[in-house]
């Protein structure tokens, strides 16, 4: 495959290992690059503020029933493979999360704990495909912050459409939060009556292993929007960070502000992550469901509130109120 076209400053993978905040404790996490020298200099951050919130009430009966029904099936899967089709039991669980779980999760009190979408200034050219709003995602299998983000993405996008052929992978074995289990969008398909989802996995689990090249149009989105002009706190040498998501040129998500921290997933099998992700009382559940509510709220804005069953739900409304600020 031909060499990838990169942004002028080079592709960077999400946030760095430390997750440290700038002096003064800014509400948004400090932008972070992925170069290896920076990773070696940084110290690993302890557990994030997701543990600060008080005890949750009893989890909804529907959530508990779903967890009980899938636990046996999930335990049959030993997550030893680094690639291949995602286990059906994991896919079924993550794409059929009950509305009650999303509603109970809402969003954390501090949006800095999640990689919340950034609203673009009004007046951007429409990003559509086949007459529908287009959601463009740029990531890489080696990237640990992409690994964390995909869990919430799969959950959110499954509320608007249907995935087929989702893959499984792990982040790089030589990067921070090594071997974080996740989905891969490489080779997958997605259908929806509301949106078009276009994922691009630029590299495989081994950094430098090419998978897909962004089109000229996709590269233009990165060059324009994944920059300090539109990403608060981004430094000039972080332009082109991954994961990058553009929701119809209305919202973006940039790896330079990644806070869907893979530290919550690190060391867990794919089955373990899936079990915890549907439970809003766990740290993993708060992170994944909170991310999914944020992404759902952004998508609901570009679909003009469709479908109502999703866009009028309590969890999405809670995220919408945060996005409006």
Dist CA 95 CA 201 (whole Å): 20
Give the contacts of 222 (CB within 8 A, at least 6 positions apart): 7, 138, 214, 240, 244
Residue 62 DSSP one-character state: H
Selection from 268, 261, 288 nearest residue 101 by Cα: 288
pLDDT class for 23, splitting at 50, 70, 90?
A: very low
Res 38 pLDDT > 80: no
36's tokens: 């290896």
> What does the pLDDT average to over 124-133?
97
* pLDDT at residue 236 in the model: 87
Q: Using CA atoms, how far apart are residues 196 and 291, in angstroms rounded to an integer?
A: 20
Task: Check pLDDT > 60 for residue 282.
Answer: yes
**Is the pLDDT confidence value at 113 over 90?**
no
Domains contained in the chain, number: 1
pLDDT tens readout for residues 54-65 = 444 444 444 444
Chain segment 149-205, per-residue pLDDT in tens: 999 999 999 999 999 999 999 999 999 999 999 999 999 999 999 999 999 999 999
Please state, in angstroms and rounded to a whole number, the distance separating the CA atoms of residues 251 and 228: 15
- Of 252, 248, 254, whose CA–CA distance to 303 is shortest? 248
Cβ atoms 270, 125 nearer than 8 A: no
Residue carrying structure tokens 């996709």: 218
Write down the pLDDT at residue 140: 98
Q: 254 lies in which domain range?
A: 60-323
Residue 25 within any structural domain of the chain: no
Radius of gyration in angstroms for the set of CA atoms belonging to the chain, rounded to a whole number: 18
- Give residue 83's pLDDT band: very low, low, confident or very high (50, 70, 90): confident
- Measured in residues, the chain has a length of 325
Q: In sequence order, what are the residues at sequence separation of 6 or more whose Cβ sits closer than 8 angstroms to the Cβ of residue 56?
A: 104, 280, 281
- Rounded Cα–Cα distance for residues 160 and 311 (Å): 10
In whole angstroms, give the CA distance from residue 123 to residue 230: 13
Q: How far apart are CA 198 and CA 185, in angstroms?
A: 9
Evaluate whether residue 207 is within a structural domain.
Answer: yes
Reported in sequence order, the residue ranges of the chain that DSSP labels E, i.e. its strands, are: 12-13, 83-85, 118-119, 128-129, 132-139, 162-164, 167-170, 181-184, 189-191, 196-201, 241-242, 244-247, 251-254
Structural domain contains residue 11:
no
Taking the C-alpha atoms of residue 142 and residue 174, their distance in angstroms, rounded to an integer, is 9
Given a contact cutoff of 8 angstroms between Cβ atoms, the answer to whether 127 and 274 are in contact is no
| Cα–Cα distance measured from residue 180 to residue 201, given in angstroms and rounded to the nearest whole number | 16
What is the maximal distance between C-alpha atoms in the chain?
A: 53
In the block, tokens 């915890």 appear at 276
Find where tokens 């640990």 sit.
144
In a domain, 66, yes or no: yes
* pTM above threshold 0.75: yes
Tens digit of pLDDT for each residue in 219-268?
999 999 999 999 998 998 889 999 999 999 999 999 877 665 788 899 99
Which of 2-6, 17-21, 85-89, 119-123 bottoms out in mean pLDDT, i.e. has the lowest? 17-21
Interatomic CA distance for residues 64 and 58, integer angstroms? 10
Does residue 196 lie within any of the structural domains?
yes
Provide the percentage of residues in the chain whose pLDDT is more than 70: 72
């Amino acid at each position: 495959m031909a060499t990838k076209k990169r942004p002028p400053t080079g592709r960077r993978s999400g946030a760095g290992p430390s997750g440290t905040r700038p002096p003064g404790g800014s509400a948004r996490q400090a932008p972070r690059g992925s170069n290896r020298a920076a990773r070696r200099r940084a110290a690993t951050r302890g557990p994030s503020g997701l543990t600060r919130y008080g005890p949750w009430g009893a989890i909804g009966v529907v959530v508990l029933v779903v967890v009980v029904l899938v636990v046996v099936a999930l335990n049959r899967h030993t997550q030893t493979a680094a690639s291949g089709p995602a286990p059906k039991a994991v896919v079924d669980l993550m794409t059929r999360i009950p509305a009650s779980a999303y509603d109970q999760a809402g969003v954390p009190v501090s949006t800095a704990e999640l990689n919340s979408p950034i609203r673009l200034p009004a007046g951007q050219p429409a990003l559509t495909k086949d007459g529908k709003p287009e959601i463009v995602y740029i990531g890489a299998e080696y990237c640990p912050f992409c690994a964390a983000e995909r869990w919430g993405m799969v959950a959110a996008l499954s509320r608007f459409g249907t995935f087929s052929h989702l893959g499984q992978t792990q982040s790089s074995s030589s990067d921070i939060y090594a071997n974080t289990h996740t989905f891969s969008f490489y080779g997958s398909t997605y259908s929806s009556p509301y949106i078009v989802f276009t994922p691009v996995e630029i590299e495989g689990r081994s950094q430098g292993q090419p998978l897909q090249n962004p089109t000229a149009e996709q590269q233009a989105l990165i060059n324009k929007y994944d920059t300090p002009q539109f990403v608060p706190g981004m430094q000039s040498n972080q332009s082109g960070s991954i994961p990058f998501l553009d929701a119809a040129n209305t919202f973006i998500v940039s790896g330079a502000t990644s806070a869907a921290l893979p530290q919550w997933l690190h060391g867990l099998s794919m089955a373990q992550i899936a079990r915890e992700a549907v439970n809003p009382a766990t740290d993993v559940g708060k992170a994944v469901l909170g991310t999914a509510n944020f992404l759902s709220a952004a998508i609901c804005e570009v679909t003009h509130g469709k479908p109502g069953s999703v866009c009028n739900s309590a969890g999405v409304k809670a995220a919408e109120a945060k996005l409006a600020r």
